[in-house]
Amino acid sequence: MKRFFCEHLLKAERKRYHLNNIVTYFAFEKVLRNAHRSEFNSSVPLLFMYHTSEVVLHKTLNLRVTPERLHVTLWSHSFVFSCDSLFQESTIESLNILELYDHNIQPNKFAITFDTFQMAEKKTFRAVRFHPDKTVKVEQVEFPIVTDDDVLIKVEAASVNPVDVNMSKGIYPRAPKPPHTLGFEGSGTVVEVGKNHAHRLKAGDRVVFLSGSYGSWAEYTLTSGTKVFHMHPDNTFEEAASHFVNPATVVIMLRLFQQEGHKAVIQSAANSALGKMLIKLFKENGIKTINLVRRDDAKEELLRIGADYVLNTNDNDFEQNLEEIAKKESATKFYDAIGGEFAVKVLRKLPPESILTIYGILAADQRLPLTSFDLFSGDKQVNSYNVTPHFEKLPFEEKEKHVAFIQQRLKTTFHSKIAKAFSLDKYADAIDHSNKFAAEGKAIIKPW
Ligand SMILES: NC(=O)c1ccc[n+]([C@@H]2O[C@H](COP(=O)([O-])OP(=O)(O)OC[C@H]3O[C@@H](n4cnc5c(N)ncnc54)[C@H](OP(=O)(O)O)[C@@H]3O)[C@@H](O)[C@H]2O)c1
């Protein structure tokens, strides 16, 4: 039966049939009827896709039937359509090509094409999951139901950021409730789109996305359509995978800096991927940067990309130099990724009315040995900054603009050197790379 079915479809491959041709109806129906009588039953290797003006019978799949909804999942690179109202009953016998015609298609405005056909019986996909007992495992996850608000994406590349490392240890405060899949952001191809986002996304689109509880370290992910954006055509999946966490953080850092009316900025961990983006973006906006690193050999690159000052925090005269430069440049904004005692030591050397904004927690000891006097004497402030809530508050059009702005600059201002790609099985090596060799560039996860 399987062979009959495939042959039938392959014979028709690349031919186009107009649905108002009655012969096509019957040919099509025959294929379906024969199919359902065999072993296919509720897992039917058929997919109809409509795609602007076309209906395509495409590769692949797994049909999971529920009373209200036929959920279609696709394995290959291609497409899917949602057919909620199409099937009233829970078996393929209720499929009738005329119903398809009636429910979804405007007469004379479409054609059916048969594409290469291939059997697939996959019902789960692989993902790197974090569990309540703080263990991390690569395991099979069932395909989720795509609700009206969701988008199902085949993941092509996912970045490995300090936020992911923290999540893998269970120390990221905004992490979803475990068990959840790791991976904050990524790039991939749309497989299925919920109704509410069908006006701007369709199956087959190349996209960048932010994850929900189905993270990006997986073969597939499900996320809210409000977190999915078209990928810039000039970027590779690998480049596009790091489109958000660091770049968007820096874009919003610039906005906060400008709103608060500072003249120059100080940043710690300045040789991080994010630190380099900050140097470039602030320079493009005519703002001087005072950059703190912990190694002399990190200085040269930062000066080359536009840093105004680079200080080694391990030098004996570090505090004195910092105080002089900060005063000279009226540098009253300190973006700190390290925290703890170090952050306070720097704040004490800054001019009056300085603001310490904590945006990372790289130091092992996060206690701030701060006195009221430290703040009161110079009218100083301490706050914290996390990109996600700032970004989430933006109207969707603003988000789209931010992401487009970033994607246009992924090869320049927001360039992140990719040092090495790891498979899902090697996620632990990817984390290790991120911990030990960040200076060499980013690790990324490539699930396929
Ligand atoms: N708040 C937010 O919304 C937000 C968003 C994105 C990123 N971040 C934070 O931004 C920071 C940088 O991220 P990234 O992806 O750009 O990092 P990255 O490229 O992986 O680089 C990490 C850098 O941190 C430095 N570092 C690590 N531990 C340190 C310590 N104890 N003292 C001093 N320096 C230390 C390393 O310096 P060496 O080269 O000397 O080893 C390295 O350059 C992270 O803390 C991350 O969590 C925050």
* Two tokens, residue 173: 């405060």
* Two tokens, residue 221: 């992910």
* This prediction's pTM: 0.76
The enclosing H or E element of 166 equals helix 162-169
The enclosing H or E element of 436 equals helix 427-436
Alpha carbon nearest to ligand 1 atom 22, residue: 272
DSSP at 143 = P
Does the beta carbon of 8 lie inside 6 Å of ligand 1? no
243-298 pLDDT, tens digit each? 999 999 999 999 999 999 999 999 999 999 999 999 999 999 999 999 999 999 99
Does the beta carbon of 302 lie inside 6 Å of ligand 1? no
**Options 3.20.20.150, 3.40.50.300, 3.40.50.720, 3.90.180.10; CATH of 124-243+414-445:** 3.90.180.10
For 312, the 3-state DSSP assignment is strand
Alpha carbon nearest to ligand 1 atom 31, residue: 363
Q: Which residue out of 362, 383, 390 has the highest number of ligand 1 atoms within 8 Å of its CB and is therefore the one to mutate?
A: 362
pLDDT attached to residue 114: 26
Flag whether pLDDT at 359 surpasses 50: yes
What is the spatial distance between Cα 77 and Cα 154, in angstroms, rounded to a whole number? 8
* Two tokens, residue 390: 């700032």
Q: What are phi and psi of 295, to 5 degrees?
A: -140, 140
> Does 246-389 match 124-243+414-445 at the fold level?
no
Q: What are phi and psi of 331, to 5 degrees?
A: -85, 105
Distance 269 CA to ligand 1 centre (A): 6
Ligand 1 atom index nearest CA of 385: 1
Does the beta carbon of 273 lie inside 6 Å of ligand 1? yes
Annotated domain spans of the chain: 2-114, 124-243+414-445, 246-389
Fold (topology level) of 246-389: Rossmann fold (3.40.50)
pLDDT attached to residue 434: 93
Half-sphere exposure of 189 (CA within 13 A, CB side): 16
Flag whether pLDDT at 184 surpasses 80: yes
Q: In this structure, are strands 309-312 and 288-293 parallel, antiparallel, or unpaired? A: parallel
pLDDT attached to residue 125: 93
5-52 pLDDT, tens digit each? 333 333 333 233 322 222 222 233 334 434 433 333 333 333 333 332
Does the beta carbon of 210 lie inside 6 Å of ligand 1? no
Average pLDDT, the chain: 78
What is the spatial distance between Cα 253 and Cα 270, in angstroms, rounded to a whole number? 14
Reported as a pLDDT band with limits 50, 70 and 90, residue 191 is confident
Does the beta carbon of 386 lie inside 6 Å of ligand 1? yes
pLDDT attached to residue 122: 52
Ligand 1 atom index nearest CA of 276: 16
Please give the C-alpha separations between residue 363 and each of 337, 401, 430, in angstroms, as whole numbers: 8, 34, 21
Distance 421 CA to ligand 1 centre (A): 19
Does the beta carbon of 265 lie inside 6 Å of ligand 1? no
